[in-house]
Structure 1
Amino acid sequence: MRIVVLVSILFSLSAMGDSADERIRAAIFDNNIPRLRTLLNGVNLAERGSVYMHEAVFFRRSNAIRVLVEKGASLEATDSAGRTPLMDAVEGPDVDLATVRVLVEAGADVNAVGAEGDVLSRATKSGSAALIRYLMDHGAVIRAPECTGGMNPIMSASGGGNLAFLQRAVLDVRRFINNRGTRNQTALMMAAKEGKYSTYQFLLQQGADWNLTDEEGNSLLMMAIDGGDIRIVRDLLAKGMNVNHLSNHRNNALSRAIWKNNPAIIKLLMEKGADASIPTGPFNKLPIVDAMGPFGRRAFDELVKHLNQDQLWQGLEAVTTGVFRERHNWDELVKRIEATPARRNRIMAEAGGFGDLNTIKKLKAQGVDLDATDGRTGETALMKAMRRDQNQIGQYLLQNGATFDPRNAEGDNALLVAAASGNAAGARMLVRAGMNVDVHDMNGNTPLIRAVIKGDRQTVQALLQVGATANSPGRAGRTALYHALANKQVNVARVLLEACAPLTEIDSGNTQPETLANGGYRREESAALLRLIQQRRNNPRCH
């Protein structure tokens, strides 16, 4: 918090941009009281005193504080975060009681309320018994949180684990034990979400209600999971708290444990009846899908141990279709799934994309066809291997009986998939294995045209090297060169023109290549393409 205050002070001063302010600030920091008195003469502290006062408090310059008060600086002026100087002085683990005394003796309000509680609420965070005693001896009182900006000393001490204060103020604890503060939370919730087990136990003994929810519908169990103390989690489950309670945002205890990447709590929740089939969050994701997210691998590894076959299969569906295509997740799911024949086909196909040779061999030994499709996109293991640059898998499949014939739901075979995916080495391998290099897709485009449309120079070059026909027409009679010129792909066009791609009949309308090259607003690319076309026309090797 002191760092935040300092940043606020420096920002405020720098924003003024006045050398007089810099001199005053330096005098406060140096504790040069005579110079400070001189510099403050004629300064309107009603406007700027708050900045100087907060800086004097931060650097614990008691004499500077006295001078500022003497010169008219307000003791109750707040900073950009709504804090008075006394609030700054009492907060933190290294509170300077002498600074607090100066402010209080000068008349600072010990019961001032800010945006995040009153003075005493902030003081209880530090755990300083002497500070709290001093404030209460000078009039600070414990009030309900609704009277103190949503945070009273009981709640603050509970979140900070200041058990000594709570024990001394036990009558006030009982008085305000279930009062609601910020976000409609209670003292017990503060203790649970900060993982303060001893404080949690004490509050329960004083009558705290463990079956309340906050304004977002979060249960105490969910907050305890955020706090990470498994003893609190275990105690709440033993009390019978609903492990599958959903908050207003459709989160529950299991989703919170996954987000916290806490395998021990996940294990406990699953043993106590957490339902892994309940979708959570704004996108209604299953827990196994949540566990594939950016929260960490430990949550996923624990959760899969407790899932039934249908839930494991839902995980496999997610890992093959979602954004979190981690091989680790695939391996953990596949080894636990007891697949039906239809599911074995799906696994065979998907294994190609994950480069999982062991699973492919295992399924082949069980009689699963290497050309089995995934039942969703119509792709085979070979197609998925080409899409993911898994060329060693592709080589194994070709050597062990995978065929060239299958096409997916879009009408593409493995070579078309490789070309469209930018897998130059895979495309070369397939052609050398015997696949027709000029095969057409449903739109009449060849692998070469697909590679040109993608703008993949390396794949274009690889296909030409293994015999692709440069002027083979595709949709609307457009050749590969047509697409390269129309899309202003200079590097791709260079490869085609250096391979002597024909300049005539590049589409069904007999469009001239220079016309295509000149079109549009990309003048530099157009000029480069025109030069390449002229070089092609002048190349004797191409005649």
Structure 2
Amino acid sequence: MMQLQAEDFGSWDNPALDRATWMDIGDNCGELDVAIHRAAARGDVAELSRLLDTPHDINARCSSENSALHWAIVADKTEAVRFLLSRGADPSLRGRGGSDGREGDDAALCAARFERVSVMEVLIASGVGIYSETLGFAVISKNMDMIRLLVGTMRYDFTDMPRLQALEGILPAAVRTWSLESVQYLMEELKYDASTISTNNQGVLNLALLAIFNQEDVHDQLVETESDKDWGVAIQIIQLLVAAGASVNAVDDWVARTPLHFALQLQYPPSELIDYLLVHNADVNVPNHMGRTPFFQLLTRSDATEEMVRRFQRLGGSLDVMDDEKNTPLHLVKRPEIASLLLVSGADPASKNKYGQTPLHQASCVGDIGVIAQLLDYGADIEAKDSSGQTPLLAAMSYARCSGFWEKDTRTINFLLERGANVAAFNRDGQSATQLIDLKGYHINNLGKLALKVGHHVRQTQDNREEENVVDLW
């Protein structure tokens, strides 16, 4: 028996397609145990002819369930492929499928997977039935020669669907590869006209537009990283789709997000992308699946600028918005400057979410002293209680017990004490802030100590501490 190795089948430079694994090359499963397969892999047409003139089954399978035609395709033996087809080889036979339950490859899919362009020309010229998934492989591998063959040269329908339907179905996949060339080519073939576009065609373009922002996200973060992305190319693709009739306010069915939602979710959203969407009338007030608008998302970003916030306001951005948990932007704001802008614009520091928490509770939980200061300066109630009876001080200590950010939590607790937080307040377990401070060992600085002496009844431990300006509290 003859066993071929991966290198025997030529080189390929597309790491997205695991060809060696597909064919089980170098493994007992891939042994060529039929004479006709050996001849096909060598491209020996004379030997193939001799064998087929004797009782040999042209569609016989090797141990990996691939036929002679498969092996000729993998080896890129165009003349052998043409000869086998002329002698009745069945191009619809599929080799071994994957462990994930997918079907194996027929002749056309095999040619696409291995990027055998000359072989695909033979298959198309022979009128071989081709499934739309074959075009999918060509698009994923960004093989423009293969795409042109399957879209331009092959003028008949795919086996499983009409040609136009296949082109529409594959457009989002092409967009997801960020291949401007393949998207342009498919758009030229689709011939969409923005002035007369139908609802169905706009739906196709909208799906493609949303595909720019890889939507494999689960909660608030995208799975796809941005470090290796060329957003200049992405913006060109977006411009192409919008010019053809896509809506910048297209809404994803799964997470109810628009392109502007997705853009503001990026770790480093390109200013050119935000500008383009806003100039083309992106809606800053449409809620997503969490009830958060793009303006809401902007306000809660750690890199939000006052200039951008005011721009969104000029475009109608509403501050009177709550998400599904009744959080306002003020509950989740991360920058003191933006908190101040919100408060000046009329945001209510006393607003409560579904858990009864005020913005001060939230800021205290995450230890954002700058935001805490802004809220208190604008009249936030430092003794407000949430649904569980916790004040902001108690909330800060409750969060600190599991956060691990000890130094930051201690600073927050000290700051709240300095601003007059009541250490006699009790949580739902009957523990006072004083008891929690002692129990958890928080160190109170001199200013915190002074605040306690002036406004609260506490007991100080008599332990001598080597740390300067630090005491423990009961």
1:316 to 251, 257, 264: 257
What is aligned with 1:363? 312
TM-score by length of 1: 0.56
Map 1:421-500 → 2, pairs under 5 A: 421-455=366-400, 456-457=405-406, 458-465=408-415, 466-467=418-419, 468-483=421-436, 489-490=440-441, 493-495=442-444
Map 1:133-282 → 2, pairs under 5 A: 143-144=58-59, 146-163=61-78, 165-167=80-82, 171-172=86-87, 174-182=88-96, 183-210=103-130, 212=131, 219-237=133-151, 239=155, 240=157, 241-242=162-163, 253-254=170-171, 256-257=173-174, 260-269=177-186, 272=190, 273=201, 275=204
1:347 to 1:420, Cα distance in 2 relative to 1, 3 A: same
For 2:324, the aligned partner's letter is R
**Offset of residue 339 of structure 1:** 2.6
**Offset of residue 116 of structure 1:** 3.0
**Offset of residue 445 of structure 1:** 1.0
- Secondary structure of 2:326's counterpart equals coil
2:3 to 87, 94, 98: 87
For 1:351, the aligned partner's letter is L
Check the 8 A contact 1:91/1:123 in 2, yes or no: no
Distance in 2, Cα, partners of 1:92 & 1:267: 36
For 1:440, the aligned partner's letter is K
1:349 to 259, 276, 296: 296
Check the 8 A contact 2:444/2:471 in 1, yes or no: no
Structure 2 gap segments, 5+ residues each: 12-26, 97-102, 191-200, 217-221, 453-458
**Offset of residue 151 of structure 1:** 1.9
Percent identity, aligned pairs only, is: 13
Check the 8 A contact 2:322/2:328 in 1, yes or no: yes
For 2:93, the aligned partner's letter is N
1:409 aligns with 2:358: no
1:346 to 1:265, Cα distance in 2 relative to 1, 3 A: same
1:164 to 1:346, Cα distance in 2 relative to 1, 3 A: same
1:417 to 1:337, Cα distance in 2 relative to 1, 3 A: farther
**Offset of residue 341 of structure 1:** 6.5
Distance in 2, Cα, partners of 1:484 & 1:321: 42
1:294 aligns with 2:294: no
Check the 8 A contact 2:445/2:471 in 1, yes or no: no
For 1:201, the aligned partner's letter is E
- Secondary structure of 1:427's counterpart equals helix
1:166 to 1:385, Cα distance in 2 relative to 1, 3 A: same
1:461 to 1:167, Cα distance in 2 relative to 1, 3 A: same
1:134 to 1:117, Cα distance in 2 relative to 1, 3 A: farther
**Offset of residue 294 of structure 1:** 1.5
Distance in 2, Cα, partners of 1:340 & 1:348: 5
**Offset of residue 236 of structure 1:** 3.5
Larger Rg: 1
**Offset of residue 208 of structure 1:** 1.4
**Offset of residue 145 of structure 1:** 5.5
**What is the CA deviation profile of residues 37-66 of structure 1, one whole-angstrom value per residue up to 9, with x for unaligned ones?**
xxxxxxxxxxxxxxxxxxxxxxxxxxxxxx
- Number of equivalences: 388
1:339 aligns with 2:269: no
What is aligned with 1:535? 463
1:341 to 1:235, Cα distance in 2 relative to 1, 3 A: same
More helix by share: 1
**What is the CA deviation profile of residues 385-432 of structure 1, one whole-angstrom value per residue up to 9, with x for unaligned ones?**
23xxx3332243345554423333333222212122332333234334
RMSD: 5.0
Check the 8 A contact 1:422/1:451 in 2, yes or no: yes
For 1:446, the aligned partner's letter is T
TM-score by length of 2: 0.63
Check the 8 A contact 2:367/2:409 in 1, yes or no: yes
Check the 8 A contact 1:440/1:447 in 2, yes or no: yes
**What is the CA deviation profile of residues 457-507 of structure 1, one whole-angstrom value per residue up to 9, with x for unaligned ones?**
324423423423333223354323555677xx45xx3459995699xxxxx
Distance in 1, Cα, partners of 2:414 & 2:68: 77
For 1:350, the aligned partner's letter is Q
Q: Point out which structure has higher relative CO (alpha carbons under 8 A, 6+ apart).
A: 2
Mean CA deviation greater in 138-147 or 451-460: 138-147
Distance in 1, Cα, partners of 2:426 & 2:344: 32
1:373 aligns with 2:321: yes
**What is the CA deviation profile of residues 60-101 of structure 1, one whole-angstrom value per residue up to 9, with x for unaligned ones?**
xxxxxxxxxxxxxxxx6xxxxxxxxx3046953699xxxxxx
**What is the CA deviation profile of residues 133-158 of structure 1, one whole-angstrom value per residue up to 9, with x for unaligned ones?**
89879989884253553223422332
Distance in 2, Cα, partners of 1:122 & 1:204: 23
1:476 to 1:91, Cα distance in 2 relative to 1, 3 A: closer
Distance in 1, Cα, partners of 2:265 & 2:39: 44
**Offset of residue 454 of structure 1:** 1.4
